[in-house]
Amino acid sequence: MNDYDYIIVGSGIAGLYTALLACKEGRILVITKGNIEETNTRHAQGGIAAAIGQNDDPELHFQDTMAAGDGLSDPEAVRILVNEAADRITDLVNLGVPFDTVEGEIALTREAAHSRSRILHAGGDATGEHIEITLSNRVRASRIPVLENCLATDILLEKGVVRGIRAFDYRTGSITEFGCRFLILATGGGGQLYKVNTGSEVATGDGVSLAFRAGAEITDMEFFQFHPTALHLPGVRPFLISEAVRGEGGLLRNRNGYRFMPDYSPQADLAPRDVVARSILYEMKKTGADNVFLDVTHLPPPVITTRFPHIYRFCLEHGIDITRDQIPVAPAAHYMMGGVRVNSWGETNIPGLFAAGETACTGVHGANRLASNSMLEVLVFSKRIMQKTGKTTRPETATPTPQAKDICCSLSERQPPGTVPELSLHALQQLHWDKVSIIRDKEGLTEAADILAAWQKILPRPTDRPTYELGNLVLTGRLVTEAALTREESRGAHFRSDFPQSSPQWQRHIIFTQTNKT
């Protein structure tokens, strides 16, 4: 009874949307380490990008995505993304996602680095929450089995082919093995690597760690996106202030009230996220402040309260009326653009193993994700996983061979530093925030890499959810740090102060694999 056609690990938009498709193709099981609603999807405010407006078309969306990717986006993957976008939006509408409308037409807004208004949203700034609720209700209504509070710990292989997953029920301490033909990792990203982050506590790099230990290829891990504007208040957990706020006309000002973004980019407040995040850091250092301000007080109050009800209410609860007060903001870790390397059908180099969502690296985002492309990527490539697997009875693999210019490597052996801090979640998050953050250099990255390698050697045997997650974060952190140390240039979200320019010779990918597969 433990054998399935599909096992899906994760219950965000990637896991639930895929489950709703897979239930028509065979016997399925969803495994999630929290409850079905405990995901990063709920925190997504901005929306979904799709070229469905009258003055827009997929070619413009393609050009914007390729430009944001800074030379590393895969043109084939981006073509697929933009050309299949409208059909996947129709899927969500048919599932019941209540996108906002104006006079009967889906409302579209603009975000940074988009040349058109093409962002669909729901509930103003509650898009992720509406999608998550809609999909989870559909999954329950479809009677899809969901195993909650169980953490996937190992991918089971037989002669190099997926045969199942091992899962740990941390409420009872029991470990169970489940067999499957196809295993789909949809566990989200690794935002908990960083002290300051906008994500859910569940984002601990689980899928990347699982896949790497099984022998899957992991790529582009140096490209971790930092959102420029998270609410910055003492004692308050970072709260995302959507990029759509600037898309609607919000302006960044320093502590002196000066609008500084035109000094850093001709696109000013609508420059790509990496540019805005670094500009804010420079401005904070210049003025001796630990934050800047996002100003929407010049906009009509009804526009603010209607378009951004969640942001308005959250700030008001903390003493800030954004219709009258400027919002204190600073950058925070936000999105992992690298991940498990997949082809245009979501396949990894391991037959039977697929990845979707933030766990996967489809090649769409390149060095810098274009705003609101992530949920679209989930829909497009999750659908393609089902189109591929629905036509075959046995696992196969067709991931593209790395190009000759790509760098294929494994995690290096490192000499432990003289002093190794005591391992804890706080210490790990502080290390990444200090040494593997928005601005990096060889000295800091080397120190972080040495400490992470030393920590990995002394990891305790996992016995509960926190210790399993800590082990996954250490491994994911090593992949991020080693990739950042290897890439001796600045490109997109990866900025090296000791190599501040991009270089044509680095227009290639860094791919990690486990040398001794388990």
Q: Which residues are catalytic?
A: 273
Q: Residue 64, SS3?
A: helix
Separation of alpha carbons 488 and 155, rounded Å = 33
46, burial (CB in 10 Å: exposed 0-12, middle 13-18, buried 19+): buried
Query: Could you tell me which residues come within 8 angstroms of residue 142 by beta carbon, excluding any fewer than 6 positions away?
Result: 20, 23
Separation of alpha carbons 316 and 239, rounded Å = 13
Residues shown for the chain: 518
Place of tokens 């790497």: 212
For the chain, helix (H) and strand (E) counts, in that order, are 14, 22
Q: What are residue 336's DSSP bridge partners?
A: 224
Residue of 450, 442, 444 whose CA lies nearest to 500: 442
Separation of alpha carbons 445 and 218, rounded Å = 19
Separation of alpha carbons 315 and 305, rounded Å = 11
HEC secondary structure over 132-194: HHHHHHHHHHCCCCEECCEEEEEEEEECCEEEEEEEEECCCCEEEEEEEEEEEECCCCCHHHC
Torsion of CA 213, 214, 218, 221, to 10 degrees: -30
Q: With contact defined as beta carbons under 8 Å apart, do 118 and 110 qualify?
A: yes
Query: Could you tell me which residues come within 8 angstroms of residue 156 by beta carbon, excluding any fewer than 6 positions away?
Result: 162, 163, 164, 165, 166, 177, 179
Residue of 237, 470, 445 whose CA lies nearest to 332: 237
- In Å, how far from its chain's centre is CA 17? 17
Separation of alpha carbons 40 and 199, rounded Å = 6
Q: What's the token pair of residue 356?
A: 């979707």
Separation of alpha carbons 276 and 260, rounded Å = 10
Q: What's the token pair of residue 153?
A: 């710990």
Beta strand spans in 322-370 (E):
327-336, 339-341, 353-355, 360-361
End-to-end CA distance of the chain: 26
Please count the CA atoms within 13 angstroms of the CA of 406 that sit on its side-chain side: 16
Q: Is 328 left (phi over 0), alpha (psi -120 to 50) or beta?
A: beta
